[in-house]
């Protein structure tokens, strides 16, 4: 069913789609619905869970954000207007490595206990600047309550084929 036909059917039921995303980790839609009359549906109640994520940007500055669970780290960066130059060039379609993030070992191990890295993500990570054993793509990691308080580092540079003479692009 297409997103527009789903939205039309939900509107007939008195519901609107507040946000429709696909969590890269589970590959299932992560839609959050809100009732036109202001009463939340069941899924929206679950979506009220929040987590705090601490990003370390390229200059070493710590940026803390509080966000809903169930969305990708790429969506967090975009939704919170975090200024990470070149981050998320493919908009989460798993066609680049610009949302490359480096996790602390403990956090990475928790991620790997919960999910595995797809072949597609591994292929894109091979192109990432500054790859480490604890690297993942932000578009493939969904925020969960288990990750609340985690620290994640943005690499010093980004491999972005769109930019060839930019100081933020990898050599």
DSSP line for 76-138 = HHHHTT---TTTTTTTTSSS-STTEEEE-HHHHHHHHHH----HHHHHHHTT-TT--TTEEEG
Question: pLDDT tens across 76-108, in order?
Answer: 999 999 999 889 999 999 999 999 999 999 999
Kindly calculate the radius of gyration of the chain based on its CA atoms and give it in whole angstroms. 17
How far is the C-alpha of 107 from the C-alpha of 140, rounded, in Å?
A: 15
> Over the chain, what is the mean pLDDT?
76
Query: Please, which pLDDT band fits residue 34 given cuts at 50, 70 and 90?
Result: very low
**Whether pLDDT at 15 is above 70:** no
Question: pLDDT tens across 121-143, in order?
Answer: 999 999 898 999 999 999 999 99
Instruction: State whether residue 3 is helix, strand or coil.
Output: helix
Among the residue ranges 24-38, 127-141, 152-166, the one predicted with the least confidence is 24-38
Query: Please, which pLDDT band fits residue 162 given cuts at 50, 70 and 90?
Result: low
Among the residue ranges 58-67, 133-142, 151-160, the one predicted with the least confidence is 151-160
pLDDT at residue number 23:
56
pLDDT at residue number 115:
80
Q: Are 105 and 60 in contact (CB under 8 A)?
A: no
pLDDT at residue number 41:
36
pLDDT at residue number 158:
79
Better-predicted residue by pLDDT, 118 or 31: 118
Better-predicted residue by pLDDT, 116 or 4: 116
How far is the C-alpha of 35 from the C-alpha of 165, rounded, in Å?
A: 48
| Residues 54-66, mean pLDDT to the nearest whole number | 96
pLDDT at residue number 28:
39
- First and final CA of the chain: distance in angstroms? 43
| Residues 63-78, mean pLDDT to the nearest whole number | 96
């Amino acid at each position: 069913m297409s997103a527009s036909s789903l939205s039309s059917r939900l509107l007939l039921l008195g519901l609107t789609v507040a946000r429709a995303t696909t969590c890269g980790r589970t590959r299932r839609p992560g839609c959050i619905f809100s009732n036109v009359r202001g009463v939340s549906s069941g899924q929206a109640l679950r979506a009220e869970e929040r987590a705090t994520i601490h990003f370390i940007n390229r200059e070493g500055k710590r940026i803390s954000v509080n966000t809903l669970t169930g969305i990708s780290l790429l969506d967090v960066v975009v939704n919170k207007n975090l200024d990470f130059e070149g981050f998320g060039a493919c908009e989460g379609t798993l066609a680049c490595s610009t949302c490359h993030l480096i996790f602390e070992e403990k956090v990475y191990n928790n991620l790997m206990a919960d999910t595995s890295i797809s072949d597609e993500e591994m292929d894109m990570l091979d192109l990432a600047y500054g790859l480490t054993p604890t690297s993942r793509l932000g578009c493939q990691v969904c925020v969960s309550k288990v990750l609340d308080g985690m620290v994640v580092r943005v690499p010093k540079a980004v491999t972005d084929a769109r930019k060839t003479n930019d100081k933020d692009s990898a050599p």
